[in-house]
């Protein structure tokens, strides 16, 4: 399936390039044909000017025809000069206002026309012989034809970008469905053994000699049930509740302190005792837990973690910093991509799920605020505060 998709895209690119190349060559062909036609029009127009300068007022029919020809050119810009290239002041299809205001306007246009086409030379007077030159530029249609391949290339590029965006959106949607399906299947698979474990714990409670181990088994069972509940909520619209963010952070910080070891210090700092936001407590706890676990992994069991929370206008800002190995700047965005991991073991789903929970379910933001290789990393969570 993947190979077919790549092949189809390559075929589309090749077809687009062939269309553009073909358009360029055909446009050049049409441009040359149009240039020949424009030259013929200028020659006829120039001869009408010669006739008008020498005309016999009694030849009304010829005079009318020459005037008609002279007025029929409404597209091709022309400048008349004498045989020494001095501008006579007679020009056609140029900005007369600009010519009056700028003394160099016609001179600049003449220089441009000289680069484009050879002049049409017409005899104005026979005795003595006087010749005028008519320099001309591109017609409006000629300019349109010249830029047509570029416009076509731009349209094809926009279409290609649109196809890529659609393909990317489809892949992302498929990927999201895959993660949701995996999460729900995991929760479903955990359900049966958890129910069985609950039964066994209840059975063990009947024997007094098990009293010492029952609380620990109950904690592990509760933890497994929490994990199952978290996975079950992925893909579903969570029920958001008004909760104290400080209390949620403290609960997870205390949980991680018991598992971090003596060489890791977790410090929490708040600008006030409580901050309230609408959250899903199990999912928000999962976010904090994932970030703390990542911090512990980055420090290899030794160092410090600092959690800072404050309210800035309408937002609650939570910064989680560690003294671990840090993240290179070019990987700031990649760390949230599914499958990206720097660990020897792991699926690279923790931060991807964290981003999904924060941004899709809580309408917040999560990012790498700062990081320096060898010194540590700070992740920032931004949530909307409620009164």
Report pLDDT for 235.
63
Report pLDDT for 346.
46
- What ranges in 279-384 are assigned the alpha helix state H? 281-299, 350-356
Cβ burial of 319 (10 Å; 0-12, 13-18, 19+) is middle
SS3 210: helix
Mark whether 368 and 250 lie in a shared domain. yes
Mark whether 131 and 16 lie in a shared domain. yes
User: Is position 365 within any domain?
Assistant: yes
What are the per-10-residue average pLDDT scores of the chain (387 residues)?
54 76 81 88 87 69 80 88 89 89 91 92 80 90 80 79 81 69 69 79 83 84 77 73 95 88 92 93 90 89 93 93 91 77 56 88 93 93 93
Give the range of the structural domain holding residue 319, as residue numbers without chain letter: 237-384
Report pLDDT for 160.
79
- The dihedrals phi and psi of 119, each to the nearest 5 degrees, come to -75, 155
Structure tokens, 381: 């969570």
Q: How far apart are the C-alpha atoms of 202 and 194, rounded to whole Å?
A: 12
Write out the H or E segment, with its range, that includes residue 315: strand 315-322
User: Is position 162 within any domain?
Assistant: no
CA distances from 370 to 178, 192, 209 (A): 31, 43, 53
Sheet holding 376-384, edge to edge: 264-270, 303-312, 315-322, 376-384, 365-372
Mark whether 133 and 241 lie in a shared domain. no
Task: CATH number of the domain at 247, please.
Answer: 3.30.565.10
Cis peptide before 81 (omega within 30 of 0): no
- The last residue of one of the domains, among 138, 158, 173, is 138
CA distances from 119 to 73, 115, 132, 297, 340 (A): 17, 10, 9, 79, 67
- The last residue of one of the domains, among 82, 117, 138, is 138
User: Is position 123 within any domain?
Assistant: yes
Mark whether 247 and 373 lie in a shared domain. yes
> pTM for this structure?
0.52
User: Is position 150 within any domain?
Assistant: no
User: Is position 178 within any domain?
Assistant: no
- The dihedrals phi and psi of 237, each to the nearest 5 degrees, come to -75, 115
User: Is position 213 within any domain?
Assistant: no
Identify whether the C-beta of residue 252 lies closer than 8 Å to the C-beta of residue 228. Answer: no
- The last residue of one of the domains, among 121, 138, 155, is 138
User: Is position 212 within any domain?
Assistant: no
User: Is position 108 within any domain?
Assistant: yes
Number of domains in the chain: 2
């Amino acid at each position: 399936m993947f190979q077919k998709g790549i092949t189809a895209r390559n075929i589309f690119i090749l077809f687009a390039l062939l269309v553009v190349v073909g358009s360029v060559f055909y446009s050049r062909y049409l441009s040359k044909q149009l240039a020949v036609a424009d030259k013929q029009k200028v020659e006829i127009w120039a001869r009408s000017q010669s006739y008008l300068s020498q005309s016999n007022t009694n030849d009304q029919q010829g005079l009318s025809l020459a005037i008609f020809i002279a007025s029929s050119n409404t597209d091709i810009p022309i400048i008349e000069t004498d045989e020494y290239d001095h501008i006579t002041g007679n020009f056609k299809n140029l900005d007369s206002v600009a010519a009056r205001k700028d003394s160099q306007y016609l001179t600049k246009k003449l220089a441009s026309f000289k680069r484009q086409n050879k002049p049409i030379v017409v005899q104005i007077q026979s005795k003595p012989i006087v010749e005028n030159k008519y320099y001309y530029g591109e017609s409006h249609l000629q300019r349109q034809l010249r830029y047509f391949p570029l416009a076509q290339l731009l349209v094809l590029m926009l279409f290609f970008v649109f196809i890529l965006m659609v393909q990317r959106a489809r892949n992302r949607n498929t990927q999201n469905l895959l993660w949701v399906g995996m999460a729900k299947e995991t929760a479903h698979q955990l359900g049966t053994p958890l129910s069985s474990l609950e039964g066994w714990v209840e059975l063990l409670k009947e024997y007094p000699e098990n009293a010492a181990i029952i609380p620990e088994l109950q904690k592990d069972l509760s933890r497994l049930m929490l994990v199952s509940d978290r996975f079950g909520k992925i893909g579903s619209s969570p029920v958001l509740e008004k909760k104290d963010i400080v209390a949620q952070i403290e609960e997870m910080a205390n949980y991680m302190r018991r598992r971090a070891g003596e060489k890791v210090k977790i410090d929490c700092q708040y600008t006030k005792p409580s901050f309230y936001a609408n959250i899903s407590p199990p999912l928000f706890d999962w976010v904090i837990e994932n970030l703390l676990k990542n911090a512990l992994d980055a420090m290899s069991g030794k160092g410090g973690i600092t959690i800072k929370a404050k309210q800035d206008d309408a937002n609650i800002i939570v910064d989680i910093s560690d003294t671990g190995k840090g993240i290179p700047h070019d990987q700031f965005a990649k760390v949230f991509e599914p499958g990206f991991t720097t660990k020897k073991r792991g699926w690279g789903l923790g931060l991807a799920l964290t981003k999904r929970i924060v941004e899709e379910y809580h309408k917040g933001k999560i990012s790498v605020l700062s990081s320096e290789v060898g010194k540590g990393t700070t992740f920032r969570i931004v949530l909307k505060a409620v009164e």
